[in-house]
Amino acid sequence: MNKPLRRIAIFCGLLVLALMIRDNWIQYVRADELNTHKFNRRVQIERYAYERGNIIVDGKPITGSVETKGSDFKYKRTYTNGPMWAPVTGFASQAFDANQIEKLEDGILTGNDDRLFFDRTLAMFTGEKKKGGDVVTTLNGKAQAAAFKGLGDNKGAVAAIDPQTGKILALASTPSYNPSVFAGNSIKDSENRQKLLNDKDKPMVNRALRETYPPGSTFKVVTAAAALENGVVEDIDAPTDTPEPYMIPLSRTPMKNSHGGCEKASLNAAMEVSCNSVFANLGDKVSRDKMVEMAQKFGFNNAEIDTPVRASSSVYNKTMDRGGNALSSIGQFDTAATPLQMAMVTAAIANDGKLMKPYMIDQLRAPNLDVIQTFEPEEMSQPVSQENAQLLQRMMENVVEKGTGKNAQINDVTVGGKTGTAQHGVGNSKRPYAWFISYAKTDNGSPVAVAVVVEDSNGTARDDISGGGLAAPIARDVMKAVLDSKE
């Protein structure tokens, strides 16, 4: 009987060997995947096991951590002025994961990033409590407050950029939400979140980055840039050949103007009173492909604008016909832009044609305040020449001085801007969006470019909605706040 016994011995050895191989498979080969699996609650437990690092604005934290009892998670996230900062911070919830900066820089904030390995090891020897690192943002507290206050109870968003560096200075979205209300793990937190998700006003949508709107007349600066760059217009004060009424190409519909005096108006004059016909005509002359090219240089049709929070892609249709292109040239039809996108357009013009990549994280810091990484300004493209950029500035400054953008004027400061009133809904049935884009200029170049969109205006008669009336004062306040903080 010994021969089969020996074989059984080998068989049993193989069983144990199979177990060992399997164990290596799950505990070595697949260890990382399982360890960081989205269903693995350990990720959350680890995230809140130590005091989480903070997100910093103007040297002060806008987040915090409190110790909690009676749950898996030791610390809970708190937010200072949560609704105002939510579009920047995102949320970090024990029960519902995290998003935006809280998610993207989770490694630094929890202290688990590889770059913090040395700090962790050192802390192990010195007996210091483990703590997360900080994320220092580029935002400007005063500008953000001005934007949030200006939007008030309206639905809308504000994006402000430093044109010379691309640093994001303000990023507001209303109605907003307080990420503190579901930072925990209780039933109450769950209910609060559900309430926010069910809210028809969508408070959790980051409108400044993740919502696209038809940009309306503010898009005319892009059309003007394309006309200048492609030589369709050489002198901004020379009359164009625009007839009145101007018929939309391939159709029998005349392009309506809300203002008289658009017939054969010069580019500058058309900008001042926002003539639809002139810009539709110029856009048509530039041609669709050249318009697409210009829009893309400004950042349209780019799905990878990471601030590092990714902004939605703004759209300029690449395949539409001539009529569509003419309508798109005045920011209607399929054209759609995020507030950040329009702030980028404005910033590029204010920065003499050079578009800087927008970003909102300045530095990553270790718990001991050592800087781990500093983000440097980066040039994204040069959509227009310096010369043409200055021509565009002249026209935009004229709009604020004499035209539709008078509400954005600031004493002793040069301001350039453009209003927009974008129609939407079937047959333009819905209330239009009020837009305003602008920049301020000092002797050292432009410190701020801003885009404001106000979605819906409660109790305002339809005709009164215009970028100049609703959005321009907000833009002015944001620019003022930035200028004040520079002094």
Partner 1 sequence: MSVVTNTTTIGAIDAPSRRNTELVLLAFAVAIPVFAYLNVGLALNGEVPSGMLGYGLGLGLMAGVAHIVVRKFARYADPLLLPLATLLNGLGLVLIWRLDQSPRLNARADFAPQATNQLMYSALGIALFVGVLMILKDHRVLQRFTYISMAAALILLILPIVPGLGADVFGAKIWIRVGGFSIQPGEFAKIVIAVFFSGYLMVKRDALALASRRFMGLYLPRGRDLGPILTIWAMSLLILVFENDLGTSLLFFGMFVIMLYVATERTSWIVMGLLMSAGGAVVVASFAGHVQARVNAWIDPFVCKETSVACDQMTQVLMTFGSGGVLGTGLGQGNSDLIGFAANSDFIFATVGEELGLTGVMAFLLLYGLIIERGIRTALAARDPFGKLFAIGLSGAFALQVFVVAGGVMGLIPLTGMTMPFLAAGGSSVIANWALIGILIRISDTARRPAPAPAPSPDAEMTQVVRP
Answer for the pair 419, 471: CB distance below 8 angstroms, yes or no.
yes
- Least distance in angstroms from the C-beta of 127 to partner 1: 13
Contact positions with partner 1 (CB under 8 A) in 273-332: none
Residues 465 and 290: their CA atoms lie apart, in Å, by 32
Closer Cβ to partner 1, 9 or 413, answer by number: 9
- Least distance in angstroms from the C-beta of 97 to partner 1: 16
* Side-chain half-sphere exposure of 108, counting CA atoms within 13 A: 22
- Least distance in angstroms from the C-beta of 111 to partner 1: 17
**Catalytic residue positions, numbered:** 217
How many residues bind partner 1 (CB under 8 A)? The answer is 34
194 binds partner 1 (CB under 8 A): no
Answer for the pair 90, 102: CB distance below 8 angstroms, yes or no.
yes
Contact positions with partner 1 (CB under 8 A) in 26-85: 26-28, 30-35, 37, 39-42, 45, 72
Residues 445 and 422: their CA atoms lie apart, in Å, by 30
Q: Which stretch binds partner 1 (CB under 8 A): 6-14, 192-200, 252-260, 322-330?
A: 6-14
- Least distance in angstroms from the C-beta of 38 to partner 1: 9
128 binds partner 1 (CB under 8 A): no
Give one DSSP letter per residue of 192-213, joined into a string: HHHHHHH-TT-TTS-HHHH--B
Closer Cβ to partner 1, 33 or 241, answer by number: 33
2 binds partner 1 (CB under 8 A): yes
Residues 299 and 342: their CA atoms lie apart, in Å, by 9
Q: Which stretch binds partner 1 (CB under 8 A): 24-32, 55-63, 119-127, 387-395?
A: 24-32
Closer Cβ to partner 1, 34 or 250, answer by number: 34
6 binds partner 1 (CB under 8 A): yes
Closer Cβ to partner 1, 73 or 79, answer by number: 73
Give one DSSP letter per residue of 115-174, joined into a string: GGHHHHHHHHHHTPPPB--EEEE---HHHHHHHHHHHTTSEEEEEEE-TTT-BEEEEEEE
- Least distance in angstroms from the C-beta of 3 to partner 1: 6
Give one DSSP letter per residue of 37-52, joined into a string: -TT-HHHHHHHTTSBP
18 binds partner 1 (CB under 8 A): yes
127 binds partner 1 (CB under 8 A): no
Closer Cβ to partner 1, 10 or 303, answer by number: 10
Non-local CB neighbours of 190 within 8 Å, separated by 6+ positions: 95, 182
Give one DSSP letter per residue of 47-68, joined into a string: HTTSBPP-EEETTEESEEEEE-
464 binds partner 1 (CB under 8 A): no
Closer Cβ to partner 1, 17 or 250, answer by number: 17
User: Tokens 């008078």 label which residue?
Assistant: 406
- Least distance in angstroms from the C-beta of 184 to partner 1: 17
121 binds partner 1 (CB under 8 A): no
Residues 281 and 448: their CA atoms lie apart, in Å, by 31
9 binds partner 1 (CB under 8 A): yes
Residues 149 and 87: their CA atoms lie apart, in Å, by 14
Residues 420 and 331: their CA atoms lie apart, in Å, by 9
Other residues' Cβ atoms within 10 Å of the Cβ of residue 231 = 8
124 binds partner 1 (CB under 8 A): no
Other residues' Cβ atoms within 10 Å of the Cβ of residue 463 = 9
Nearest to 483 by CA among 453, 436, 452, 446: 446
187 binds partner 1 (CB under 8 A): no
Closer Cβ to partner 1, 46 or 293, answer by number: 46
Residues that bind partner 1 (CB under 8 A): 1-6, 8-9, 12-13, 15-16, 18-20, 22-24, 26-28, 30-35, 37, 39-42, 45, 72
